[in-house]
Amino acid sequence: MSKRLILAILCCGALYLVGNGRVSLWDRDEPRYAQASRQMLASGDWVVPKLLDEPRIKKPPLIYWCQAASMAAFNRIAPDDSLTIEQRMQRDAAAARLPSSIAIVLTLILIAVVLVRIAGKEQAFWTVLIFGTSGLVVMSAKMCLTDAVLLLFVTASQFCLYAMYRRRATWPVVVAFAISTGLGLLTKGPVVLGVNAMTLIVLGLLALVDRRAARSTTTPRVAWANLFARGLSHLPKILIAIAIIAAICAPWIVFMQHRIPGGLGKVFDREILDRMTQPLEQHKGPPGYYLLFFLISFFPWCLFLPTAIKIAWQNRRDPLLRFSFAAVVGPWLMFECIQTKLPHYVLPCFPFLAIMTAHALVLAARGEQRDWQTRRWLIAVGAFSLILIALGLGPWAALPEFGFENLPFRSMTVVSIVAAFFAIMIFTLFARSRIFAAAYTMAAAMFVLLTLLFTLYLPNAQFLHLSERLGAYLQSAGATTKGDVYMIDYKEDSLPFYQGGTIRPQPKNTFLAVEPPEKWPTFLVITREIWNNTPETAKARLQVLQTFRGWAYAAKGRVAEVMVVKKKAMATSQPRSGEKK
Please report, as a single letter, which amino acid is at residue 553.
Y
Rounded distance, CA 420 to CA 341, Å?
Answer: 33
571 Cβ contact list (under 8 Å, min separation 6): none
Rounded distance, CA 484 to CA 364, Å?
Answer: 64
Residue 578 lies in a domain: no
Where a domain ends, among 347, 365, 383? 365
pLDDT of 216 above 80: no
Residue 406 lies in a domain: yes
pLDDT of 79 above 80: yes
pLDDT of 237 above 70: yes
Rounded distance, CA 139 to CA 160, Å?
Answer: 26
Strands 485-488 and 504-505: parallel
Q: Which pLDDT tens digit goes with each residue over 413-446?
A: 999 999 999 999 999 999 999 999 999 999 999 9
> What pLDDT does 217 receive?
42
> What pLDDT does 222 receive?
46
pLDDT of 492 above 50: yes
* pTM of this structure: 0.93
CA atoms within 13 A on the CB side of 436: 10
Tell whether 487 and 456 lie within a shared domain: no
Residue 370 lies in a domain: no
pLDDT of 452 above 70: yes
Strands (E), 476-557: 485-488, 504-505, 523-527, 542-552
Please report, as a single letter, which amino acid is at residue 527.
T
Whether the Cβ atoms of residue 81 and residue 91 lie closer than 8 Å to each other: no
Residue 218 region by backbone torsions, left for phi larger than 0, else alpha for psi between -120 and 50, else beta: alpha
> What pLDDT does 227 receive?
47
Q: Hey, is 541 helix, strand or coil?
A: coil
pLDDT of 578 above 60: no
Tell whether 476 and 456 lie within a shared domain: no
Tell whether 236 and 316 lie within a shared domain: yes
User: What's the structural domain count of the chain?
Assistant: 3
Residues β-bridged to residue 547: 563
Check residues 214 and 488 and name the one with the higher pLDDT: 488
Angle at Cα 451 formed by Cα 449 and Cα 457, nearest 5°?
85
Q: Give kind and range of the element (H or E) at residue 528.
A: helix 528-532
Least confident of 153-167, 269-283, 494-508: 269-283
Tell whether 380 and 348 lie within a shared domain: no
Residue 581 lies in a domain: no
Q: At what angle do helices 121-133 and 435-452 cross, to 10 degrees?
A: 30
Tell whether 381 and 507 lie within a shared domain: no
pLDDT of 162 above 50: yes
Whether the Cβ atoms of residue 104 and residue 132 lie closer than 8 Å to each other: yes
Rounded distance, CA 151 to CA 566, Å?
Answer: 46
> What pLDDT does 224 receive?
47
- Minimal CA–CA distance to 70: which of 104, 37, 47? 37
Q: Give kind and range of the element (H or E) at residue 358.
A: helix 350-365
Q: Hey, is 508 helix, strand or coil?
A: coil
> What pLDDT does 219 receive?
44
Tell whether 426 and 471 lie within a shared domain: no
> What pLDDT does 280 receive?
61
Range of the domain at 495: 466-567
Residue 577 region by backbone torsions, left for phi larger than 0, else alpha for psi between -120 and 50, else beta: beta
Residue 576 lies in a domain: no
Whether the Cβ atoms of residue 332 and residue 349 lie closer than 8 Å to each other: yes
> What pLDDT does 10 receive?
97
Tell whether 442 and 329 lie within a shared domain: no
- Minimal CA–CA distance to 545: which of 460, 494, 496, 476? 476
Using CB atoms within 10 A of its CB, is residue 313 exposed (0-12), middle (13-18) or buried (19+)? middle
Tell me which long-range contacts 507-513 makes (C-beta under 8 A, separation of at least 24). Answer: 509/533, 511/486, 512/488, 512/538, 512/542, 513/538
- Minimal CA–CA distance to 237: which of 173, 160, 307? 173
Where a domain ends, among 365, 391, 424? 365
Tell whether 209 and 253 lie within a shared domain: yes
Rounded distance, CA 124 to CA 140, Å?
Answer: 21
Rounded distance, CA 543 to CA 171, Å?
Answer: 69
> What pLDDT does 266 receive?
75
Where a domain ends, among 311, 335, 365? 365
Q: Which pLDDT tens digit goes with each residue over 370-396?
A: 889 899 999 999 999 999 999 999 999
> What pLDDT does 269 receive?
67
Using CB atoms within 10 A of its CB, is residue 538 exposed (0-12), middle (13-18) or buried (19+)? middle
| Mean pLDDT along residues 63-84 | 95
Residue 580 lies in a domain: no
Mean pLDDT of the chain: 90
Q: How many CB atoms lie within 10 A of CB 31?
A: 25
Tell whether 249 and 272 lie within a shared domain: yes
Residue 273 lies in a domain: yes
| Mean pLDDT along residues 235-247 | 94
> What pLDDT does 58 receive?
83
Tell whether 396 and 355 lie within a shared domain: no
Whether the Cβ atoms of residue 360 and residue 132 lie closer than 8 Å to each other: no
Residue 574 lies in a domain: no
Tell whether 419 and 284 lie within a shared domain: no
Rounded distance, CA 170 to CA 59, Å?
Answer: 32
**Length of the chain measured in residues:** 581
What secondary structure does DSSP assign to 156-194, as a single string? HHHHHHHHHHTT---HHHHHHHHHHHHHHHHHHTTHHHH
Q: Hey, is 336 helix, strand or coil?
A: helix
Phi, psi of 482 (to 5 degrees): -60, 130
- Minimal CA–CA distance to 527: which of 497, 498, 554, 500? 554
Rounded distance, CA 457 to CA 407, Å?
Answer: 9
Q: Which pLDDT tens digit goes with each residue over 307-338?
A: 999 999 999 999 999 999 999 999 999 998 88
Using CB atoms within 10 A of its CB, is residue 519 exposed (0-12), middle (13-18) or buried (19+)? exposed
Strand order in the sheet with 485-488: 504-505, 485-488, 523-527, 558-567, 542-552
How many angstroms separate the Cα of 470 from the Cα of each of 144, 401, 458, 495, 551? Answer: 21, 20, 17, 7, 12
Tell whether 361 and 487 lie within a shared domain: no
| Mean pLDDT along residues 95-120 | 97
Whether the Cβ atoms of residue 201 and residue 330 lie closer than 8 Å to each other: yes
Angle at Cα 139 formed by Cα 134 and Cα 142, nearest 5°?
130
Q: What is the CATH number of the domain that holds 529?
A: 3.40.190
